Amino acid sequence: MGAWEVFKDAIFWLIQWFHSWCGDWGLAIVLITIVFRLVIYPITRRQYKSSYEMQKLQPQLKEIKEKYKDDQQRQQQEQMKLYQEAKFNPLASCLPMILQMPIFIALYQVLQELETRIGSTDAVSFYGLVPDLTVTPGGVFAEQGIGAVVPYVIMLLLFASSLVIPMLIQPNSDRNTKIMMTIMSAVMLFFGWQVPAGVLLYWDVSSYLGVGQQQLSRWRLKRKDEQAKEEVVDVTPVKVDVDRAERKARPKKKR
């Protein structure tokens, strides 16, 4: 058995263990998601700090882009110089996403194999709100029509908006970033139409937990900055006006 199969079995075992405890497959996925977000929080906290520092650098980055708009190479050099001076790593925000991808893919495959693993998928639901977590929105629409697909479409819209909301709540978001995230959201809608509902549930919960953690981190970092400003004592040198006596001319000696 390969390492990937062992990893998938571990994911299935966790889902099954939580299901035996709570009695619902959807809630089991939600609980696994919460546990995983807590495990990777030390890493995501660095991402949130990096994002916060990036927002503070926006005015300087805008100035560099305006100053060197006709010289792309110099613009990139100045941006990298600014990042180095601020000790900012643009790649830090990618790590949490990279860490989640194996879970995402493994859960996708486990849900596809769930009927084989447990013998039936009749009760693989989320308290009846989402009747079957192993099917895709596209499959439900094709087989049962528009009425049956409504709960899956809601999950799908939450899945796509999970990229847009963090951008909207961040002040001074770059225009290019907004465009990129909007395009990615459209891609997510297309991609999410083809994935099992249980994977959408995982991604929805994970994303919105991440938004909450990010807002909490931003509040703490902002408060820390404000406290640091308050603690800075502005020592202004005291001016002492000294009235100098008028210098009298020396009497000349008579020869």
What's the pLDDT tens digit per position in 21-30? 998 999 999 9
Q: Are 96 and 44 in contact (CB under 8 A)?
A: yes
CA distance 195 to 200: 7
The pTM score is: 0.75
Cβ-count burial 78-107 (b if 16+ within 10 Å, e if not): bbeeebeeeebbeebeebbeeebeebeebb
Q: Name the E strands within the chain.
A: none
pLDDT in tens, 62-92: 888 788 777 778 888 887 887 777 666 666 6
pLDDT in tens, 98-112: 777 888 888 888 888
User: Which of 170-174, 183-187, 243-247 shows the lowest mean pLDDT across its residues?
Assistant: 243-247
Look at the block and give the residue holding tokens 């405890």.
Answer: 21
